[in-house]
A and B are shown apart, each in its own frame.
Chain A
Amino acid sequence: MLSVTNLHVEVGGTPILKGLSLEVPAGEVHAIMGPNGAGKSTLSYTLAGREGYEVTQGTATLNGDDLFALEANERAARGLFLSFQYPLEIPGVPSLTFIRTALNAQRKARGEDEIGAPAFLKLAREKAASLKIDFDMLKRPLNVGFSGGEKKRMEIFQMAMLSPKFLILDETDSGLDIDALRIVSEGVNALRSPERGMLVITHYQRLLDYIKPDRVHVLAGGKIVASGGPELALELEETGYDRFSQVAA
């Protein structure tokens, strides 16, 4: 599914990722944990195709497709979805219009027919109900004036609507209270399937109580410095990241 090999990335001439390798097979949820500045967001932005993240070495493929040969929107059409740590507000564009535009752009890129309005609305009502999103909220401009929790729920809603093959959740727990965290996690867990892979990037172990990972990786100093089962997350909660920072340096 997702395969990253010896990835080196610079931002503004400064090396951030320094030889990161990672394999996430279909059906598995992997967590990446690490201290501030370790390169967690750089990894997610680089995989999603944001400008300004220069790959100087290494490869990343999704189901064999070379991600770095594709534009950000092409990566999305191939099934990659990045849930933003800070989802953007898009004034003037109703949320439903935005999602329908995105869904149809993806379908067009894959050579599929556009989804009609009735089928789209039916799907939207269904998914909104399961995420406890008020349908009227979907008529408001995307994320404008939404609380932190509402924005994250909207990310999960978009995920559910676009039905991507691979999800990257970048600090999805930040800014969430316990109730919102539970709703968001349930939404993510509902998307777990044998065909779908997930990379959950988080600073804290808390999110992993709700979204149970198959593997946990520690990112420090721009590379993966340790990998293990779910117990590694608990261990980190106890001991902190200090010892890994030393390993990386």
Chain B
Amino acid sequence: MSLALALQSGDVTSLPSRRDEAWRYTDLRAALRAIPEASPKDGAMVPAGPFAATAEAEALVIVNGFGPDRLTVASGEHRTVSLRFIASAAARAHHKALAIEVADGGVLTLLESHEGLGSDYVSDLAISLQIGAGATVERVVILNDSAEAISVVTATVDLGANATLNQTVLTTGGKRQRFETHVSHPGQGASVRLDGVYLLGDARHSDQTTVVSHKGEGGTTNQLTKGAVRDNARAVFQGKITVERRADQTDARMGHHALILSERAEIDAKPELEIYADDVSCAHGNTVGALDEEALFYIRSRGVPLIEARALLISAFVGEVTDRISHDGARHVAQDWLLASGMGAS
């Protein structure tokens, strides 16, 4: 069951639904009555994307699934690429596969934006990311889907020895939105940071699902996802780390912490650690709470209006995640994104 399959066959019964354990909280079947026609090619000029200010980035633009299929970084090369997925259609659907290969010792800063210019589009993106030995990828993703959109992004990451993947996903959700990252982790000094931020309002939904499989000795995974939901929004966090039998000296940490700002909002969190090796260091933490009323009063008593005071506390809460972005330009974009989210309103 997958969205890709359903788009190919035109059969809605191929859509994942709550009957599928992995899609329990993100029911696509219920959200989509019929498979729409294929999205048209759109040659219109697109407005500047969220990473436009980081001038050093070359752009790779994919509109309604049309565009390049491949991005490569040669051995020893350092590239900063603004990868833009644009959906400009309404009531149309598209699928796109993109292969990204970073050769041994290459460095890729991937500034990835998903820009929903249309309304009720259906988008399915499959990204394969090969990171060679000793190579580094910093991937910063802004998901800016429209409120009516159904969007699934699935990244499959194959990591070499001593390679690094640092990923931060920032999202405001969609009608149904799923961002999946699967990492095949070789151990061997390779390091993975998988972070996420969600700020959801109205009836938006966002699902960040990660699966990391530690297959060899001596690998690290560090995960921190933070978010806030208000109105009728729903956030899903599913994080799974598997440490296989021979993957000793694995260091894996997973944290998910969220603020729930209204009684009708919902957070579904499913952190899972499956450990088959003996000599590992693993930990996970998961908390959901409300904004601290006392802190709010304290801030207001200094003259800051309620909406700003809430926004200050929310952006400080999730700012711990964006502070971990090492690319300066991308970090500033992420911080501005937080401040512009308007989450303080209730």
- Interface on A for B, CB 8 Å cutoff? 48-51, 71-73, 75-77, 81-82, 84, 87-93, 98-99, 101-103, 105-106, 109, 141, 158, 162
Interface pair A82/B312, CB less than 8 Å apart: no
17 sample A-B contacts, Cβ–Cβ < 8 Å, listed by A number: A49-B301, A51-B293, A72-B301, A73-B300, A73-B301, A76-B303, A84-B298, A84-B301, A89-B295, A98-B312, A99-B302, A102-B299, A102-B304, A103-B303, A141-B316, A158-B302, A162-B302
B299 touches A106 (CB 8 A): no
Q: What per-residue 1/0 map shows which CB atoms of B285-302 lie under 8 Å from chain A?
A: 000000011110111111
Chain A: which residue is nearest B323 at the CB level?
A92
The one of B295, B300, B312 in contact with A76, judged by C-beta atoms closer than 8 angstroms, is B300
Known: A72-B300, A102-B299. 18 other contacts (CB 8 A): A51-B293, A51-B297, A71-B300, A73-B300, A73-B302, A73-B303, A73-B305, A76-B300, A84-B298, A88-B295, A90-B299, A90-B313, A90-B316, A92-B315, A98-B302, A103-B303, A105-B308, A141-B316
Query: Looking across the interface, which residue of chain B has its beta carbon closest to that of A159?
Result: B302
- Report Cα–Cα, A158/B303, bound state, in Å: 11
| CB–CB B303/A88 < 8 A | no
CA distance A103 to B303 in the complex (A): 7
Q: Could you say which residues of chain A place their CB within 8 Å of the CB of B299?
A: 90, 98, 102
Give every chain B residue within 8 A of A98 (Cβ-Cβ): 299, 302, 312
**Looking at the complex, which one of B293, B301, B306, B308 makes contact with A101 (CB distance below 8 Å)?**
B308
Inside 8 A of B317's CB, which chain A residues have their CB? 91-92
List chain B residues, Cβ under 8 A from A106: 303
Question: In the assembled complex, which residues on chain B have CB atoms less than 8 Å from the CB atom of A91?
Answer: 316-317
Residue of B with least CB distance to A76: B303
| Contact pattern, B 68-93, Cβ under 8 Å of A = 1, otherwise 0 | 00000000000000000000000000
Provided the pairs A88-B295, A91-B316 are in contact, do residues A71 and B305 lie with their beta carbons within 8 angstroms?
yes
Q: Which residues of A contact B309 (CB under 8 A)?
A: 73
Q: State A217–B200 Cα separation when bound (angstroms).
A: 51
Residue on B with the closest CB to A97?
B312
Contact A105 B305 (CB under 8 A): yes
Does B319 touch A at the CB level, under 8 Å? yes
Complex contact A102–B303 (CB within 8 A): yes
The answer to whether B313 and A48 have CB atoms under 8 Å apart is no
Cα A50 to Cα B298 with chains together (Å)? 9
B residues apposed to A, CB below 8 Å: 292-295, 297-306, 308-309, 312-313, 315-317, 319-320
Contact B316 A71, beta carbon cutoff 8 Å: no
Closest CB-CB distance, A15 to chain B, in whole Å? 22
Cβ contact within 8 Å between A76 and B302: yes
| A contact residues around B308 at 8 Å (CB) | 101, 105
* Closest beta carbon of chain B to A166's beta carbon, Å: 13
In the complex, chain B residues whose CB is within 8 Å of the CB of A89 = 295
Q: Which residues of B contact A87 (CB under 8 A)?
A: 298
Q: Chain A residues with Cβ under 8 A from B312's Cβ?
A: 90, 93, 98, 101
Q: Which residue of A lies closest to B297 (CB)?
A: A50
A49, A72, A76, A87, most chain B CB atoms within 10 A: A72
The CA of A71 and the CA of B300, in the complex, are separated in Å by: 9
In the complex, how many angstroms separate the beta carbon of A172 from the nearest chain B beta carbon? 15
Cβ-defined contact, B303 with A71, below 8 A: no
**Contact pick for B316, options A75, A84, A92, CB 8 Å:** A92
Please report the C-alpha to C-alpha distance between residue A82 and residue B298 in the assembled complex, in whole angstroms. 9
Distance of A124 from chain B, by nearest CB (Å): 15
Inter-subunit contact A102/B295 (CB<8 Å): no
Task: Assess the B306–A71 pair: CB atoms within 8 A.
Answer: yes
On chain A, the residues within 8 Å of B306 by CB distance are: 71, 73
Shortest Cβ gap from A21 to chain B (Å): 24
B316 touches A82 (CB 8 A): no
For residue A100, give the distance in angstroms from its CB to the closest CB of chain B.
Answer: 11
> In the complex, which residues of chain A have a beta carbon less than 8 angstroms from the beta carbon of B297?
50-51, 72
- The complex places the Cα of A88 from the Cα of B301 at a distance, in Å, of 12
Contact status B304-A105, CB under 8 Å = yes
Q: How far is the CA of A48 from the CA of B301 in the complex (A)?
A: 7
Name the residue of chain B whose CB is nearest to the CB of A91. Answer: B316
Q: Please, which residues of chain B bring their CB within 8 A of the CB of A92?
A: 315-317, 319-320
Which of B300, B308, B313, B315 counts the most A-chain CB atoms under 10 A from its CB? Answer: B300
A101 CA to B298 CA, complexed, in Å? 13
CB-CB under 8 A from B304, the residues of chain A are 73, 101-102, 105
Residues in A with CB closer than 8 Å to B302 are: 73, 76, 81, 98-99, 102, 158, 162
